Amino acid sequence: MKPLKIGITGVRGIVGETFTPELAVEFAESFGTYLDRGRILVCRDTRPSGPMIRSAVLAGLLAAGCEVVDLGVCPTPSMQLAVKWLKADGGIAITAGHNPWQWNALKFVRADGLYLNSTQGEELLDIFHQGEFAKAGWDTIKQGVQTADPIPEHIKILHESFAAEAIRAKGLTVAVDCCNGACSFLSPKWLEQLGCEVLAVNDNPSAPFPHAPEPKPETMAQLCAVVKAGRAAIGFAHDADGERLGIVTDLGEPLSEEMTLAIAADIRLRKKTGKVVTNVSTSSAIDIIAARHGGSVVRTPVGQAYISEGLIEHKGVLGGEGSGGITVPEVHLTHDSAAAIGLILEYLAETGERISELVVQLPRLTTLKHNVVVEPHRLYSVLQEFRATVEQEGLEIDSTDGIKATLPGGWVHVRASNTESMIRIIVEAQEKSAAQELLDWTRDRIRK
């Protein structure tokens, strides 16, 4: 089975195999139909399939009668902000985020700059499956595509959201790995404007990804070396489209992507207590941190749209996921790695504390992640069977998203991936040995 996932979060697949130009054309037509034409922004990350998918998307949107503004290569959050200030009706981001470079995907943004929620995602899918699209005639079709650069405005909004002067006064040395992705156009420029000494690596958007675009300790070796050699105060690692952030401490230690939210929450709750919105799969460290600062945690299903909606509903002060995606509500209600950078640098500048000093105070739990590849037609039955097994054993189940069970010493979370045909297992415990036991316990109960 070749990978292709069409779901409420959009369409995602490998270009050259399943993700064809006609699929991209039809999804763009569906979206143009769903929004009843209007003004649509299009952006992409730096994958080699970007220009091909872009042309397909522009064709589909124009055919549906949309007015199209092409933002070129930019971080997805830059486009999400631009939807608001360019008064657009929606946007399409052409990016597979943290997926390998052979992948690409379409992500759909509505007029408030947030992703379609699950109901809207289903409505869009219905239009796609029905295959009846709006069609502009020769007398209404738009004759050209406009262009705009969303990055200066993104930087301006970031500047206004954080204590830029305090950061500038500090003159921090900051290392950043843009993974040759869309953030190559944003982060080095912004950090320079913040008066930082910038040690940028992999900031060439026309070069291929130097490593997997997923900010994890495994992909941050080069960044660690740069932090150490340049005696940087901190190192930041981007994914391909500017949603997820990984951190290397001033000691050159690469942190687990789960730590990004822990750090952001600790910083945020020190200044302003309130609710942190995260998904059910994210580390319990966040609960411990929230409790320390008199805050609380709201758990949602996995996916950015749920975090955004949770933040609105609960008036949260911070959102984020264990994958390294952070939402700072002052900037906007969606993951934005540049906003996370602002939050962290502001703290370092205002307190004079070092990031490694902050990190040692945070609870360190052991999180283990494991993926089980499953035939697509078995994906949901495997989950159901796991649930039945666990229930028979008399365990309490949280079914916000997939199956989360709390066991003595930790928890396990088992769910279907939104983007690939696999079951994701996450377990967490205090000690590594206990976590490994939980993982073995879970794997014993999953029957492909």
Partner 1 sequence: MNTDNLCSSVFIRGYKTMRAIPTLKISISGVRGVVGQSLTPKLLTRFAQAFGTHTGPGTIVIGRDPRTSGEMVKHAVVAGILSTGNRVIDIGVCPVPTVQLQVRHRRAQGGIAITASHNPAEWNALKFIGSSGLFLDAAQARELLDIYHQGEYTKVGGAELRTVEVIAGATDLHIKSILDALGPLPQTNKKLRVVLDSCNGAGSLVGPKLIEALGAEVIPINVTPDGSFPRPAEPLAENLGDLCRAVREHQADAGFAQDMDADRLAIVSNEGEAIGEDNTLVLAMLYVLGREKGPVVANLSTTSAVEDVAKRFGCPMFLTKIGEVNVTDAMQLHNAVIGGEGNGGVIYPRINFARDSLVGIALVLHLLAESGKSVTELLESVPRYHIVKDKMPCPSDRITTVLRMVREQFAEFPMDTRDGVKVITKDGWFLVRGSNTEPIIRIVAEAKSEERAREIIDRVYSKVNFDRG
Binding site for partner 1 (CB under 8 A): 14-17, 20-22, 24-26, 29, 48-49, 51-56, 58-60, 62-63, 101-102, 133, 135-145, 208
- Chain-centroid distance, C-alpha 219: 17
Amino acid at 134: A
Q: Which is nearer to partner 1, 28 or 289 (CB)?
A: 28
**Closer CB to partner 1, residue 22 or residue 431?**
22
Residue 23 or 232: the one with the smaller Cβ distance to partner 1 is 23
Secondary structure letter of residue 256 according to DSSP: P
Least distance in angstroms from the C-beta of 420 to partner 1: 16
Q: Please, what is the minimum distance in Å from the beta carbon of residue 124 to partner 1?
A: 17
CA separation for the pair 268, 270 (Å, rounded): 6
Min separation Cβ 36 and partner 1, Å: 16
For partner 1, the closer of residues 58 and 269 by Cβ is 58
Identify which of residues 135 and 432 has a Cβ nearer to partner 1 in the complex. 135
Question: In Å, how far are 37, 64, 72, 120, 177 from 40, measured between CA atoms?
Answer: 8, 11, 13, 16, 30
For tokens 């944003």, name the residue.
186
- State the nearest-atom distance from the C-beta of 183 to partner 1, in Å: 21
Nearest of 259, 334, 301 to residue 418 by alpha carbon = 301
Min separation Cβ 23 and partner 1, Å: 9
DSSP characters for 117-174? -HHHHHHHHHHHHHT------TTTS----EE---HHHHHHHHHHHTTHHHHHHHT-EE
Q: How far is the CB of 3 from partner 1 (least distance, A)?
A: 12
Query: Nearer Cβ to partner 1, position 144 or 394?
Result: 144
Measured distance CA(236)–CA(392) in Å, rounded: 45
> At which residue do the structure tokens 């209404």 appear?
140
- Residue 59: partners with Cβ closer than 8 Å, 6 or more residues away: 25, 28
Q: How far is the CB of 142 from partner 1 (least distance, A)?
A: 7
Residues 6+ apart with CB under 8 A from 251: 356
For strands 410-416 and 403-407, give the pairing: antiparallel
Nearest Cα to 227, choosing from 254, 262, 266, 260? 254
